[in-house]
């Protein structure tokens, strides 16, 4: 595929914004030809997981900040920011379902009923489930509703690498918290779930273990085509590397390998199959991934949005889609992705406390060259 990468892209700010920090965070972003990026808001400190309401409200979870926000669109003006809750314990996980907002804290899931009708008078939440493991290490939950109407939840390992029952799993339940069951095992720390819009299969990111060097093990995109599959942790990493401690007597062939290996330490978080109508056809049903970026690698890597190119439901290649948050200094850390009704893509950035919007406009005729 021929693509011309532009070293500078246009930055379109929502009216009433224009804050210097958010503006500078986008100044060096590189995207394929025809794409541009704009700031929706830079007033959501610690913005992590995002969910879309029926009326276009963007709900935003945080981690250390302990708050949940609503970013409410307004005509001819920047969005208004509503604080829905505060003083929660790592409310990273956010999901919207049948008018209700679900928030995952470390030990529980809470629900705000009919939230878009109550943004001027936030209702008291109800507790759906309050028996999740209390460990804070990988204890920031990620939640999403699947096409089966079930609420899916990640339970990360409470360690860099350990073998502890009840951890390293993806589970699901009914919307009221009943019928809790495990659907995937051997998942160290997934902070992104999505479903193929064609066959409904679950795909998810997983962050590889640390302290094995700069270049191993690989980050992972995994495909769960059935319930009960085991993806290797803590015995096998990246599909082909036995753990020096927990891999004794194990065989990587006994576990499901990644559908797509990613670069080591890029910290893949939110992901999605693009199913909008704005981007060109070649991007339909391709997997986009927010790579949060390394924290313990001698040379930093990640801090970008990548794309896994799919054909007939199978990964074919792994490329960079948007980059530039990592230069001499880090200016942003993508966390989650979401497609709006118009087909544009929203990106959250917990470092900048911002939400961005990536749009596509048909390029002008004629060749573009980069000097």
Residue pLDDT, tens place only, 203-248: 999 999 999 999 999 999 999 999 999 999 999 999 999 999 999 9
Give this prediction's pTM: 0.92
List all residues 6 or more positions away from 68 whose beta carbon is below 8 Å from its beta carbon.
59, 60, 61, 62, 83, 84, 85, 86, 88, 91, 94, 101, 103
84-87 long-range Cβ contacts below 8 angstroms, 24+ apart: 84/59, 84/112, 84/115, 84/119, 84/122, 85/112, 85/122, 85/125
Could you tell me the domains of the chain? Answer: 5-360 (2.120.10.30)
3-state DSSP assignment of residue 252:
helix
The encoded tokens of residue 262 equal 């990613």
State the pLDDT at residue 1. 36
Q: Identify which of 320, 315, 210, 218 has the alpha carbon closest to the alpha carbon of residue 264.
A: 218
Q: Give the residue-averaged pLDDT of 275-290.
A: 98
Q: Does the pLDDT at position 10 exceed 90? A: no
> Percent of the chain scored above 70 by pLDDT?
91
Q: What are the residues facing 244 on neighbouring strands?
A: none
Does the CA dihedral 180-152-241-234 come out positive or negative? Answer: negative
Q: Is the pLDDT confidence value at 369 over 50? A: no
Tell whether omega for the bond before 233 is within 30 degrees of 0, i.e. cis. no
Computed on alpha carbons and rounded to an integer, the radius of gyration of the chain in Å comes to: 20
pLDDT of residue 27: 84
């Amino acid at each position: 595929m021929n693509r011309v990468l532009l070293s500078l892209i246009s930055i379109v700010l929502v009216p009433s914004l224009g804050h210097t920090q958010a503006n500078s965070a986008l100044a060096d972003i590189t995207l394929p030809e025809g794409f541009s990026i704009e700031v929706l808001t830079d007033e959501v400190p610690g913005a992590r997981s995002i969910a879309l309401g029926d009326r276009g409200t963007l709900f935003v979870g945080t981690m250390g900040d302990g708050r949940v926000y609503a970013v409410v669109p307004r005509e001819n003006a920047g969005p208004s920011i509503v604080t829905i809750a505060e003083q929660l314990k790592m409310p990273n996980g956010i999901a919207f379902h049948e008018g209700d907002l679900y928030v995952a804290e470390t030990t529980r899931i809470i629900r705000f009923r009919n939230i878009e009708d109550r943004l001027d008078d936030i209702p008291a939440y109800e507790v759906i489930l309050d028996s999740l493991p209390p460990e804070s290490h990988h204890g920031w939950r990620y939640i999403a509703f699947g096409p089966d109407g079930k609420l899916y939840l990640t339970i990360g390992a409470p360690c860099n690498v350990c073998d502890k029952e009840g951890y390293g799993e993806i589970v699901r339940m009914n919307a009221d918290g009943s019928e809790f069951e495990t659907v995937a095992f051997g998942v160290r720390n997934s902070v992104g779930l999505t479903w193929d819009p064609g066959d409904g299969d679950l795909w998810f990111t997983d962050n590889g273990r640390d302290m094995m060097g700069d270049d191993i093990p690989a980050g992972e995109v995994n495909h769960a085509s059935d319930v009960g599959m085991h993806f290797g942790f803590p015995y096998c990493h990246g599909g082909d590397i036995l753990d020096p401690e927990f891999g004794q007597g194990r065989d990587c062939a006994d576990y499901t390998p990644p559908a797509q290996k990613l670069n080591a330490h890029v910290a893949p978080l939110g992901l999605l199959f693009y199913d909008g109508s704005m981007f060109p056809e070649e991007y339909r049903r391709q997997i986009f991934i927010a790579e949060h970026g390394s924290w313990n690698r001698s040379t930093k890597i990640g801090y970008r949005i990548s794309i896994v190119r799919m054909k007939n439901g199978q990964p074919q290649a792994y490329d960079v889609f948007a980059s530039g948050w990592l230069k001499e200094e880090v200016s942003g850390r993508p966390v989650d992705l979401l497609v709006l009704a118009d087909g544009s893509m929203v990106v959250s950035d917990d470092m900048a406390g911002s939400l961005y919007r990536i749009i596509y406009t048909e390029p002008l005729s004629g060749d573009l060259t980069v000097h």
